[in-house]
Structure 1
Amino acid sequence: MNKILLIILGLIPSLTFASSDAVNLDLTSHWAGYLALTLFVIAYAFVMLEEFTHFRKSKPVILVAGLIWGIIGWVYASKGIPHAAEAALRHNFLEYAELFLFLLVAMTYIEAMRERLVFEKLKVYLISKGFSYRQLFWLTGFIAFFMSPIADNLTTALVMGAVVLAVGAGNAKFISVAFVNIVVAANAGGAFSPFGDITTLMVWQKGLVDFQQFFVLFFPSLVNFLIPAAIMHFAIKNEKPEVVDEVVNIKNGGIVITFMFLLTIATAVSFHNFLHLPPAMGMMTGLGYLMVVGYFVKVRHNSNDPISERFDVFRKVSRAEWDTLLFFFGVIVSVGGLGFMGYLALVSEAMYVQLGATYANVLVGILSAIVDNIPVMFAVLTMTPDMSLGQWLLVTLTAGVGGSMLSIGSAAGVALMGQSQGHYTFVSHLKWIWAIALGYVASIFMHLWINAALFDVPI
């Protein structure tokens, strides 16, 4: 009870400060602003070099997030208005908390299904069917495209990557090209669903695009995947890998947990659309589903049966992608700090006022290939430019699929570089940038054409 009172009392100052200290200092030409911007660039350089340094991407951005806000706090305290910075930072914490809880539940479910061998069953099924390399190229691509809207592009890439490594053992060329295809397919599939990518999730949670409105991006996303896939198709020899005769049985509770995951997604959507509550609350309710199901799976556990391994939901939570979750914290808090200093207002003026919304949103996709789409999209959401529904869908599309142009531009690409055992690298992906760029341009024109009416619909 005392802890609850302390939490409530801890929230009261933020409400007071938000109303009494609405002072924002323009630090874009101040030494503090220059220092913060320099620190962020250095941190992001480490993120981009993770493939070579093996220095996890969460470490530099978390450190820099603290330094940036320390600088802000120092300046505001010296000006006698310390609580304005505190209120702004609390707002960043709230935005991250919703994203964190949402992703934590999703990752826990994915880990539970992985441990129950749901994905392993899919992998063995594909291997055992005797498909040719070209057929496997298209199968893994299409599965990634349609799996990503539900399981997110990161998880999809890892699952399909495991399949490609298994069936393509000894064929480095196939693995390399198939991995590029999976990255493009997973990012494209994730662009037309709130659950497919962090960027779409952020836009949906912000309330800028309704759940069902994302699906108008289906055909532009499909074009984005098909064009580079059709080009890469000819780089793969039409040979067959050796058939592996292996039997995998899904563990006790695996099918039920899969259905609970779908129910959890439905709950999150319902909380947001019908009850007007944060989707993260629906996901946390879904975590409750898993915990209850996990109890009965544990009760049915037979210690003499090696297939029925003891199920522990808290172990699944511990195996979530913590580096990714902490990376998002560092990015959101760092970009929030730069925005509080005034830099995002400058960028918004340069991009959305001088260039115009369409060109600016196309540029967002190109930037997301270099910088990663999470900070780019968070920056756009923080700027909140006045745009129509069609333009918000355009930036959702470009930020989601633009990252496919470079291997470091999306979580899917970064994850596969670590999984590929050296077969898929920054350079091997770069060889296909021209084909991916063709798909990127074609998907934008497709959206501008088939969804033209939405560009007159205000948010």
Structure 2
Amino acid sequence: MSVFALAVFVVAYALIASERVNKTLVALTGAALVVALPIINSQDVFYSHETGIDWDVIFLLLGMMIIVGVLRQTGVFEYVSIWAAKRARGSPLRIMILLVLVTAIASALLDNVTTVLLIAPVTLLVCDRLAINAAPYLIAEALASNLGGTATLVGDPPNIVIASRGGLSFNDFLIHLAPIVVIVVAVFTLMLPRLFPGAFAADPDRVADVMSLEEKEAIRDHGLLIKCGVVLAAVFAAFIANEPLHMRPSMVALVGAGILVVVSRLQQSDYLSSVEWDTLLFFAGLFIMVGALVKTGVVKQLAELAVTATGGSTLSATMVILAASLVISGVVNNVPYAATMTPIVAELTPALVDRGNPDVLWWALALGTDFGGNLTAIGASANVVILGIANRADNSISFWEFTRKGIVVTTMSLALAALYLWVRYFVLG
């Protein structure tokens, strides 16, 4: 069974990477194969936290997509796009830097998927105003969202999984991971001109037109904007305080979406216009295929192979976990990988010979898993969402176009993370 599950995933992955077949069709076909054999059953698919569809991700996406659909009717995205372009004086490079920094910071406070859902429409409008290709800007934002989301417990879904198993708090993540995230985001920002050459040329006439626009005139419905602002503030506050409220982010997003649908009194076609149904179905199929790998033990075997060479050394274990997590999570999606790897780290920690820094393994896992999401176009949820939005807006981003940039950023992140872990936990102690 494990051979068949692995074969289905490898073939599906190859077809997705080739882009010759619709990725949603590939994911659903692969899911149908592993269910029909059957490698996994309906219980595994719909109810298991380890092998099933991650409904929290699906419904978080759905809720935020509906909220974005309502927000779109107010004209606020046009307002922000004009404001950003004018503050950057029409410079495409400055605009990218501004959007990257906003995305990274917002991803740390909220979560990376929500952030890209809110930032992407603004980006598309800015690029449309300046008549420049939006694809490089969307790729940069997806990469920045995965980097920024690493800094906090709520910023990236794998961190929630790791915190639960490792007994780690919000402040633990902030103290141990925020410093390296700041460094990596700063280096990433400096890399932008070389990472996206040729993406910063704009027509001077277009720039002049944008600078002459009055952003306040873009708001079409002030009353609805106020309602959206109140609901969004409540949603964001609930995201941050999800533990005391005992409400998962997905439930918060759905409740917020429901309230906005009621108070906005919009037509169904208006608030559903931003829902990426293809993206949601792709995620469902991907989760099922990866669930088959988890159930048959393929992912666990890969994870165990990654830690067999530690020899009882904390430093060796730290670097192996960091590197292996970065590579594997980038291929199989970082959420299910984190769920599979956490029990292995929990077992490995007390078995180490030199246990001076036991928690360092958790930080290595978090950095490798979160940064590894940038490795490929399906490594993290935010990447898939960005690609779906780009394709619908006729700014298609290919699997390899994203992955080529992702490999460069991931390599840089790995080098800095390894140096950071070594200096902070083994040199300075």
- TM-score, with length taken from structure 1: 0.70
Over the matched positions of the two proteins, sequence identity in percent amounts to 17
Distance 1:372 1:162 in 2: 26
- 1:284 deviates by 2.6
Structure having the higher Rg: 1
Q: Which moved more, 1:387-396 or 1:198-207?
A: 198-207
Q: Which residue number corresponds to residue 63 of structure 2?
A: 105
Q: Which residue number corresponds to residue 121 of structure 2?
A: 159
Distance 1:289 1:156 in 2: 14
Distance 1:382 1:336 in 2: 16
Q: Which residue number corresponds to residue 242 of structure 1?
A: 208
Distance 1:425 1:102 in 2: 24
Find the residue that maps to 1:192 and give its secondary structure: coil
Asked if the contact 2:52–2:291 (Cα under 8 Å) also holds between the matched residues in 1, the reply is: no
Find the residue that maps to 2:374 and give its secondary structure: helix
Q: Which residue number corresponds to residue 446 of structure 1?
A: 420
- Aligned AA (1:377): A
Distance 1:118 1:204 in 2: 36
Write out per-residue CA displacement over residues 94-140 of structure 1, whole angstroms, 9 at most, x where no aligned residue: 76234433343333323332333333321121223424233223212
- Aligned AA (1:256): K
Distance 1:132 1:40, change over 3 A: closer
Write out per-residue CA displacement over residues 378-426 of structure 1, whole angstroms, 9 at most, x where no aligned residue: 4435766535544333322322223334455445445356357368873
Distance 1:295 1:352 in 2: 52
Asked if the contact 1:116–1:250 (Cα under 8 Å) also holds between the matched residues in 2, the reply is: yes
Distance 1:391 1:188 in 2: 19
1:366 to 312, 319, 327: 327
2:238 to 248, 251, 267: 267
Q: Which residue number corresponds to residue 37 of structure 1?
A: 6
Q: Which residue number corresponds to residue 296 of structure 1?
A: 263
1:47 to 1, 7, 16: 16
Matches within 5 A, 1:18-417: 32-49=1-18, 52-53=19-20, 55-57=22-24, 59-72=25-38, 88-89=44-45, 90-92=47-49, 96-129=54-87, 130-149=89-108, 150=110, 152-153=112-113, 154-155=116-117, 158-159=120-121, 161-163=123-125, 165-166=127-128, 168-170=130-132, 178-203=137-162, 209-216=168-175, 217-233=177-193, 241-244=207-210, 245=213, 247-249=217-219, 251=221, 252-272=223-243, 274=244, 277=246, 279-280=248-249, 283-284=250-251, 287-298=254-265, 310=266, 316=271, 319-355=274-310, 356-381=317-342, 385-386=346-347, 387=349, 388-407=358-377, 409-414=379-384, 415-416=386-387
Asked if the contact 2:318–2:364 (Cα under 8 Å) also holds between the matched residues in 1, the reply is: no
Distance 1:271 1:228 in 2: 30
- 1:39 deviates by 1.2
Q: Which residue number corresponds to residue 11 of structure 1?
A: none
Write out per-residue CA displacement over residues 326-380 of structure 1, whole angstroms, 9 at most, x where no aligned residue: 3333233332322222323322321133343431232221334444434533443
Distance 1:94 1:342, change over 3 A: closer
- 1:285 deviates by 5.2
Asked if the contact 2:64–2:117 (Cα under 8 Å) also holds between the matched residues in 1, the reply is: no
Distance 1:228 1:45, change over 3 A: same
Q: Which residue number corresponds to residue 353 of structure 2?
A: none
Find the residue that maps to 1:91 and give its secondary structure: coil
Asked if the contact 1:398–1:444 (Cα under 8 Å) also holds between the matched residues in 2, the reply is: no
Distance 1:390 1:36, change over 3 A: same
Asked if the contact 1:370–1:409 (Cα under 8 Å) also holds between the matched residues in 2, the reply is: yes
Q: Which residue number corresponds to residue 314 of structure 2?
A: none
Q: Number of residues paired by the alignment?
A: 391
- 1:55 deviates by 0.1
Find the residue that maps to 2:309 and give its secondary structure: helix
Asked if the contact 1:65–1:333 (Cα under 8 Å) also holds between the matched residues in 2, the reply is: yes
Distance 2:131 2:59 in 1: 37
Asked if the contact 2:242–2:248 (Cα under 8 Å) also holds between the matched residues in 1, the reply is: yes
Distance 2:171 2:140 in 1: 27
Distance 1:103 1:63, change over 3 A: same
Write out per-residue CA displacement over residues 268-309 of structure 1, whole angstroms, 9 at most, x where no aligned residue: 55452x36x4525xx4356335434543333xxxxxxxxxxx
Q: Which moved more, 1:189-198 or 1:39-48?
A: 189-198
- 1:179 deviates by 4.6
Find the residue that maps to 1:354 and give its secondary structure: coil
- Aligned AA (1:41): V
Higher relative contact order (CA 8 A, sep 6+): 2
Asked if the contact 1:145–1:186 (Cα under 8 Å) also holds between the matched residues in 2, the reply is: yes
Find the residue that maps to 1:116 and give its secondary structure: coil
Instruction: Show structure 2 runs of 5+ residues with no match.
Output: 311-316, 350-357
Q: Which moved more, 1:255-264 or 1:117-126?
A: 255-264
Distance 1:136 1:121 in 2: 15
Instruction: Show structure 1 runs of 5+ residues with no match.
Output: 1-31, 75-84, 299-309
CA RMSD of aligned residues (A): 3.9
Find the residue that maps to 1:53 and give its secondary structure: coil
